Amino acid sequence: MSRLTPAQAAARWLAQEDLDRSPQREQFAAWLEESEENRQAWAQAHRVWGVLDDADENDLIAALTRAARRAGPEPAARSPRPWLIAASIGALTVSAALLVGIREEWPGRRPSPVQVAAGAAPSLYAIGRADYVTGAGQKSIVDLPDGTRLTLDADTAVDVAFATGRRDIRLLKGQAFFDVAHDRQRPFAVQAAERVITALGTQFDVKLDAEGMRVVLAEGSVSVGMAQGRTGAPPVKLKPGEAYSAQKNAAGKVARTDLNAALAWRQGVVEFHDQPLSEAIRLLNRYTRAQIVIKDPKVAALRITGVFKTGDIKRFGRSVSEVLPVRMIARDANTYELVSARR
Q: What pLDDT, on the 0 to 100 scale, is given for residue 83?
A: 33
Q: What pLDDT, on the 0 to 100 scale, is given for residue 120?
A: 39
DSSP string computed for 248-268:
TTS--EEEE--HHHHTGGGGT
**CATH says 121-260 is which class?**
mainly beta
Domain ranges in the chain are 6-102, 121-260, 268-340
Q: What pLDDT, on the 0 to 100 scale, is given for residue 77?
A: 35
- C-alpha–C-alpha distance, residues 70 and 109, integer Å: 14
Q: What pLDDT, on the 0 to 100 scale, is given for residue 136?
A: 82
- Contacts within 8 Å (CB) and 24+ apart, 136-144: 136/285, 136/286, 136/287, 136/288, 136/289, 137/286, 137/287, 137/288, 137/289, 137/311, 140/114, 140/115, 140/116, 141/111, 141/112, 141/113, 141/114, 142/113, 142/115, 142/118, 143/113, 144/181
The residue type at 27: Q
Q: What pLDDT, on the 0 to 100 scale, is given for residue 128?
A: 75
* Nearest of 119, 157, 122 to residue 138 by alpha carbon: 157
Greatest alpha-carbon span in the chain: 66
Q: What pLDDT, on the 0 to 100 scale, is given for residue 229?
A: 66
What are the angstrom distances between the C-alpha of 99 and each of 12, 41, 256, 306? 8, 10, 23, 9
Cβ count within 10 A of residue 164: 6
Taking the chain (343 residues) in runs of 10, the rounded mean pLDDT of each run is: 69 62 74 81 62 44 47 39 32 30 32 40 71 88 90 93 88 94 90 90 92 93 85 86 87 90 86 88 87 94 85 85 87 90 80
* Nearest of 151, 148, 203 to residue 181 by alpha carbon: 148
> Dihedrals φ, ψ of 68, to 5°?
-65, -45
* From the candidate CATH numbers 3.40.220.10, 3.55.50.30, 3.30.390.50, 3.30.1490.20, the one assigned to the domain spanning 268-340: 3.55.50.30
Which sign, positive or negative, has the C-alpha torsion 77, 83, 87, 93?
positive
